[in-house]
A and B are shown apart, each in its own frame.
Chain A
Amino acid sequence: MFSGDPMELSKTLKYGEKLGLDELEIFVHITDVIDVEGELGEISKTNKAKETDIFVRGIVDKRVGFGFTNDMRFLNDTVKKVYSSARANKKDKNWQDLPEVRKYHDIEEYDPEIEKMSVEEVIDTCQEIIDLTPEGITPAFCDARREIGEKYCINTNGIEIAERGTWNAAYSYLVGKTKTGVTPGCLGIEITRRKNLDLEKIVSSAADDVKLSKNLKKAGSGLKDVIIHPYALEDLLCYTLLTSILGENVVRGKSFLKGKIGSQVFSEKLTMTDDPLYKNGVSTMKFDFEGVPAERTSLIKDGILENFLWNDYWAKIAGKRSTGNAYRNILKGTVETKPTNIVIEEGNDIIFDIKEGYYVKGFQGAHSSNPESGEFSVVCNPGFKVENGEITGGCIFMISGNIYDLLKNIEEIGREKITGTNIISPLIRFKVHTATK
């Protein structure tokens, strides 16, 4: 299951104890990627990378030290550095202990067919995306990728667990010329855990958006019906609601949702779960980045706030149990909290059944939202006009408001879930303020 040497790693635990560390955790993350890039209708570059990231966390007398290395041979040296950085650190009175052993769900998203994919096969996939692009539309960028990942976690509290996973992904980013310039860049993307990419769908969804965008329509200002696609919604939620739903931000007084568990905070049409066990989900996993079992967490049920997401450290401070949402930032080495697959339940409604409104597949500037207040002001691009239930052309406009008000004012939720990258959601229709010149 794990291509590294578990014996060597458990020896390192003993080495850490000998050095004087009270606790020690080693987390190994191995990725093996073949990635093929296309540019302007031609294959431009093929990339291959195999990377091993080893994160070490050690504790002496409630002082925490962190270390990182790319090379198993330097593991003992890294543990030594962790020991000295822990001793140099200040005592963290909130520190309790590393995660303890819990039962894991029997889940694995691994497809040997993806592992077997050759460089030539990934190149062929990228070429097929280019070839599928209709005449008159520029295949500006495209990409095909196969990835194998391995995770392994061992700590002095008894955790020792490994898992592997596979990903197959492709995207097509298309642009069309207009009389005055270019259409917005339109994206078709799919990330799957099995070898079953639908290349035609990836390209046609982007190409259809380009064709619609060529017919530029005027947008109006005021309180309007706006249908938001999961591609756009996930961007907006990521920088607003999903930061407030993290337990650490609640404890730190940075979350608008503090004290609201059990309250009707959102529209009763909204039910949202963090589901790391979702079949074929991009973030489906057996355990998180500190070895805690991944589990389903109901966040919002019929508009009532039910839970926050926790990693082990912040959960223990709040007297809760980790929800298995720890995440390691490779660059910083930090143990953060992160949602996995965010799943929004279907409604019953015909979402486009409106006389006049808008449809949005991408937001510009979602990252400039104010995560604490939930205020956002973003450009809808690509955006489309809806007239008498039909999408009739492209238009660019702004929407602004507060995410909490937005999620209170859900008009309708569609009948069918669509898989974005980190969110699986139907189309959702909101009433929201639009602004144009």
Chain B
Amino acid sequence: MEEVIRKGIELGEKLNSDYCEIRVENIDLTYISLIDGRIDTLNQRTELGAAIRILKDGAWGFVSCNIEDTEKGVKDAFSLAKNSAKRRKSKIELAEVKPVQENVIKKLEKPPKSVPVSTKIERMIDLYNKFKKYDPRIKAVSISYRDGEGKRYLFTNEGMELIQDVCHVWNYCWVTGKKNQLLTSARDEIGSVSRGFEYFDGEPNEEIVRRTGKRVMMQLEGKEVGKGSFECVLGPRVVGVLAHEALGHLSEADLTVNSSFDGKIGEIVATEDIRINMVDDIVPNGFGNYKYDEEGVKAKKVEIIKNSVLNGLLTNREYAKKTEMPLTGSARAEDWRSSPIIRMRNTYFEKGDFEEEELFEGIKHGYYCVDFRGGQAELNSSFQVGIQEGYEIINGEIGDPIKNASISGMAIEALKYITGVGKKLSFENGRCGKGQEAFVSSGGPKMRFKKGAIVFG
């Protein structure tokens, strides 16, 4: 494998590329879908392909192809870059990195490839059976399982020769409940990139069923939410979506320049009454963890908001040069078909010093949002988060569950309405879709917002 890649790099050099990068992915994937207890899909496949990216005269050419077509791919990528460059006024340049020669090994207790498919299926069938026993109102259950194990290679004409083990396990449930004519659903998503199949030892089926089943029942029994702005407490999973969707994306340097964060580095962007810190980092068991990004840059902590001031941006080599911000190791690519772009890893608000009761104290009528079903933000920092577990707060106490709620607001305004930050940090694992899929974690402590920040609808 290495020899094929090196030959491609040599050709890139010979053509006089300013920068030539070949990424190869060789990974075995399993996908199993269980629909109402029946295996709908059982798919095992090997992904093997090359992604060739060449910078010439200040523009990019990118080709994805089979390994044996690498040399042709290099020639094509070179000519694409040259053609693109003819129309550019300014040249794309890259921030300097020290080339790494390293083999990053991942040690797994139960590597996914070593686990028989029958064991993977048994776990899913057990999960389904437990859902069916949970409550007769559960009418349909879709369970998806994915794993992957293999290697990613990154070689460049700058001398980078990086080989990283990659692995993931992932489980997703979509559970439908019915009461009389009312249909509803809840979802659950978990996964790991640092552990093998042993990850599920710490995520027992009983617990998945308990939390997801509870959410379905709450959507059947809950109250409709009030419309308009209310004082509220957002739990770690919802705070995490806010950190990721509404603020994290604005701090991806390729998006910042068109966003509400443009030109605001060094400015106060959150309340000054409490110190607000929001970061993107590598965290224990983070679903967005890796050692080096897809440009061979070591993943570093980014203090996006530090003491309520906008402080840092996520960069790749191109944008680190363009914005003169530090390299953060945030270039990620979904697979060999995709070119690396700036992505988050594990994005969260850091903990504060509010006791649990202080967060709810004095709220006469508000809401406590615990878990979400999807979220989306725009460059103007407008955000929306669907809520799949939430409660009323009445006189500082948690009250009845709510259903069909969704929250929205302008994140840059909402940050100024934070009135409390809890002491306990937690995370949720999920996927981000910025044109390509990436595993990420997001989270934070519980946070309280005064009325005027967040609109319920």
A residues touching B (Cβ–Cβ < 8 Å)?
Answer: 36, 39-40, 42-51, 64-71, 81, 85, 88-90, 92, 94, 119-120, 123, 127, 138, 140, 175, 181-185, 221, 252-256, 331-335, 364-365, 367-373, 375, 377-379, 381, 396, 398-400, 433, 435-437
Asked, given contacts A67-B45, A368-B376, whether A47 binds B382 with beta carbons under 8 Å apart, the answer is: no
- CB neighbours (8 Å) of B382 from chain A are 184, 364, 379, 381, 396
What is the number of residues of chain B that contact chain A, defined by CB distance less than 8 Å? 86
State whether A85 touches B41 (Cβ < 8 A).
no
Query: Separation in Å of the A405 CB from the closest CB of chain B?
Result: 12
Question: Of the 9-residue stretches B11-19, B102-110, B177-185, B287-295, which lies at the interface with chain A?
Answer: B177-185
Q: Mark B364-404, 1 if CB is under 8 A from A, else 0.
A: 00000000111111111111111000000000000000011
Compute how far the CA of A175 lies from the CA of B118 in the bound complex, rounded to whole angstroms.
Answer: 52
Greatest chain A CB density within 10 A among B43, B83, B228, B377 is at B43
* Cross-interface CB contact of A381 among B64, B184, B378, B412, cutoff 8 Å: B378
B262, CB-defined interface residue at 8 Å: yes
B150, CB-defined interface residue at 8 Å: no
State whether B42 touches A66 (Cβ < 8 A).
yes
B49, CB-defined interface residue at 8 Å: yes
Within B67-100, which residues are at the interface with A (CB < 8 Å)? 76-77, 79-81, 83-84, 86-90, 92
CB closest residue in chain B, given A330:
B337
Query: Separation in Å of the B73 CB from the closest CB of chain A?
Result: 9
Within B130-154, which residues are at the interface with A (CB < 8 Å)? 139-140, 144
Task: Provide 11 A-B residue pairs closer than 8 Å at the C-beta atoms, listed in order of the A residue.
Answer: A39-B254, A46-B80, A81-B44, A175-B379, A181-B381, A252-B176, A334-B40, A334-B41, A368-B372, A377-B406, A381-B382
- CB neighbours (8 Å) of B139 from chain A are 252-254
State whether A365 touches B92 (Cβ < 8 A).
no
Query: Separation in Å of the B120 CB from the closest CB of chain A?
Result: 11
- CB neighbours (8 Å) of A47 from chain B are 61-64, 80, 339
B265, CB-defined interface residue at 8 Å: no
CB closest residue in chain B, given A371:
B185
Query: Separation in Å of the A244 CB from the closest CB of chain B?
Result: 9
Beyond A254-B176, A373-B182, 18 additional pairs, beta carbon < 8 A: A43-B84, A43-B88, A46-B61, A51-B337, A69-B45, A70-B47, A89-B42, A90-B39, A92-B38, A138-B258, A181-B380, A254-B140, A333-B31, A364-B408, A367-B376, A372-B176, A379-B383, A436-B455
B189, CB-defined interface residue at 8 Å: no
Compute how far the CA of A88 lies from the CA of B39 in the bound complex, rounded to whole angstroms.
Answer: 11
Q: Mark B53-68, 1 if CB is under 8 A from A, else 0.
A: 0000001111111100
State whether A123 touches B83 (Cβ < 8 A).
yes
Q: Mark B158-190, 1 if CB is under 8 A from A, else 0.
A: 000000000000000000101000111100000
CB closest residue in chain A, given B92:
A44
Q: Mark B215-236, 1 if CB is under 8 A from A, else 0.
A: 0000100000001110000000
Within B176-222, which residues are at the interface with A (CB < 8 Å)? 176, 178, 182-185, 219
State whether B84 touches A46 (Cβ < 8 A).
yes
- CB neighbours (8 Å) of A44 from chain B are 59-60, 84, 92
- CB neighbours (8 Å) of B406 from chain A are 365, 368, 377-378, 398, 400
- CB neighbours (8 Å) of A398 from chain B are 384, 406, 408, 455, 457
State whether A42 touches B88 (Cβ < 8 A).
yes
Asked, given contacts A175-B379, A377-B405, whether A70 binds B66 with beta carbons under 8 Å apart, the answer is: yes
CB closest residue in chain B, given A50:
B65
State whether A368 touches B375 (Cβ < 8 A).
yes
B426, CB-defined interface residue at 8 Å: no
- CB neighbours (8 Å) of A435 from chain B are 227-228, 455-457
- CB neighbours (8 Å) of A140 from chain B are 258, 379
Asked, given contacts A252-B36, A437-B229, whether A65 binds B258 with beta carbons under 8 Å apart, the answer is: no
State whether B87 touches A123 (Cβ < 8 A).
yes
Compute how far the CA of A372 lies from the CA of B176 in the bound complex, rounded to whole angstroms.
Answer: 7
Query: Separation in Å of the A123 CB from the closest CB of chain B?
Result: 6
Query: Separation in Å of the A356 CB from the closest CB of chain B?
Result: 19
B115, CB-defined interface residue at 8 Å: no
- CB neighbours (8 Å) of A66 from chain B are 41-43
5 closest Cβ pairs, A-B complex: A368-B386, A368-B374, A365-B384, A377-B406, A398-B457
- CB neighbours (8 Å) of B76 from chain A are 48
- CB neighbours (8 Å) of B65 from chain A are 49-50
Asked, given contacts A39-B254, A45-B59, A85-B42, whether A332 binds B33 with beta carbons under 8 Å apart, the answer is: yes
Compute how far the CA of A375 lies from the CA of B176 in the bound complex, rounded to whole angstroms.
Answer: 14
State whether B89 touches A254 (Cβ < 8 A).
no
CB closest residue in chain B, given A394:
B380
